[in-house]
Structure 1
């Protein structure tokens, strides 16, 4: 089971905007991030991230990549200081990568993406994502996968050819996934949580079987058998590394899956409850409201409104 792919899929992750920008000293750019995780890849020159949540700007050299959590509105400029009166907000419709692009001398170039969720994901991974996660291109080895991918991206941007847009979109998705993977690895060393839990291979086995079939009536004994641990040891190690219990984690997986089912069709609550592993609609509704903060019926109504009135597609 590919845990990261499953989590992003169940959370309803969608790439909503991808844009190529030339950044000059006269026009800083503001990127709203209301419902999205923002991604910036600097391919030429240098850029600075400014935000009220930062004590000082973050410098991005060519080859650097930055991932912003949901809600992190920020400004990009070519210098540590900028004139707020000159800031231009990046909004509008879905952008397309131009077939030919020749930036002016002295400008910086970056490619940006917005990875949006149509609802607030409830999986523990999303609570671990820091407001700002940056990988400095200078710190990456010549043959690091991200270095190679950014090199391919820069090549496609500077020498466009047939199929280039498909390649560019794919490469940005690869960079986004590598960034999240790197973030998970670093978070796993920092504190207890989902990232630390899956670093334990036996805990990861128990987590994987829950992801494979969250509707299964898993017991602690069955999960311990899959993990190759005793019931007591699984419970202790799961709580110590994950900061949660196995069965509480399973309930969250079931609720995340239910959010998808509620938004896709007019299934009865009884059907949704049983499809994700609850015995009846009453117990399902009680757990759902506790985790999501609203009843399944209210969530479904809001989902229909969101789908009927799509968000404006914004970078960042």
Structure 2
């Protein structure tokens, strides 16, 4: 597992909101759902995205945009079209006057006409993993990858309206694949400045060390032990790792372990002791001390807050229909 693999396992879709919108001009949708991460793909036609700050961005056929929340944004046929629909937290949809703007036209299908010239596929991640924080920090609020040649956009557009056994799992994985491919292409483009952990993958010393830390965080790693694995001195590894990553190896490992622990703590049946063992702490007390020192709250408090902050399922028909 390289660092990009590891970080991209963070935003895994689990019952993500997915919708295929068929639209004919004039149309505009203001999104205020406060979702942490949203993907918008143009399966046909074109659209404009108007972020909360910055210039409007045009999306053409096959283009994919990734939006980092919680700021609102608008998707429209033209930048000056007034919103006809507003998406609220919990994926509740209303017109500006509070009425229902457009009906559902089928399974996970919505819009002002069933045969509109613009077809959008929207995938919204309701909850994100803690380990994807370095990835999100490296992204601007709006990422656009133009002219995507991936077959995943038309495939997802076709699958999203199907009802079949296991369809939710199929859609979640397709959404993940499209997100991973989009971000990988974005980070690899020469006009973008990649984050340090992305550049460090190619380093002959730091790259293998990152893979060791991500593959087996429960190992009792030391700088000396990691240096022996890559056949350099302890001082050389510490200096090179800090220069490329921006922090020492053990600080990076601590952040990685605590991010994993935070994700595991969301599992209701996992005890703090079990989580500690899985991420490299000898006891529950050791994990609790590190967690509170870095994050300011105990693992138990974090678990309670995470449960309270989980967004409720919407009761409106706007929500994705069950497969």
Same-fold status (TM-score > 0.5) = yes
Per-residue deviation, 1:228: 3.8
1:263 and 1:304 in contact (8 A); partners too: yes
Q: Which runs of 5+ in 1 are unaligned?
A: none
- Aligned to 1:226, the other structure's residue is in SS state helix
What residue is the counterpart of 1:211 in the other structure? 214
Counterpart in 1 of 2:312? 310
Please list, as runs of the form range in 1=range in 2, the aligned pairs for 1:208-287 lying within 5 A after superposition: 208-265=211-268, 269-287=272-290
Distance 1:195 1:21, change over 3 A: same
TM-score by length of 1: 0.79
The range that moved more, 58-67 or 198-207, is 198-207
Unaligned runs of 5+ in 2: 94-103
Q: Secondary structure at the match of 2:232?
A: coil
* Other-structure match for 2:59: 60
Asked whether the 8 Å contact 2:38–2:68 carries over to 1, the reply is: yes
Structure 2 partner of 1:88? 86
Match of 1:124 among 113, 134, 140: 134
Change (3 A) 1:312 1:131: farther
Three-state SS of the structure 2 residue aligned to 1:229 is coil
Give the TM-score, by structure 2 length: 0.77
Measured in 2, the distance between the counterparts of 1:210 and 1:301 equals 28
| Residue in structure 1 matched with residue 187 of structure 2 by the alignment | 184
What is the SS of the residue equivalent to 2:122? Answer: strand
Aligned to 2:70, the other structure's residue is in SS state coil
Larger deviation: 238-247 or 56-65? 238-247
Give 1:112's aligned residue. 122
Deviation at 1:182, TM superposition (A): 2.0
Shift of 1:25: 2.7
Alignment CA distance shift 1:96-1:18 (3 Å): farther
The two structures, once aligned, show a CA RMSD in angstroms of 3.7
Partner residue of 1:74? 73
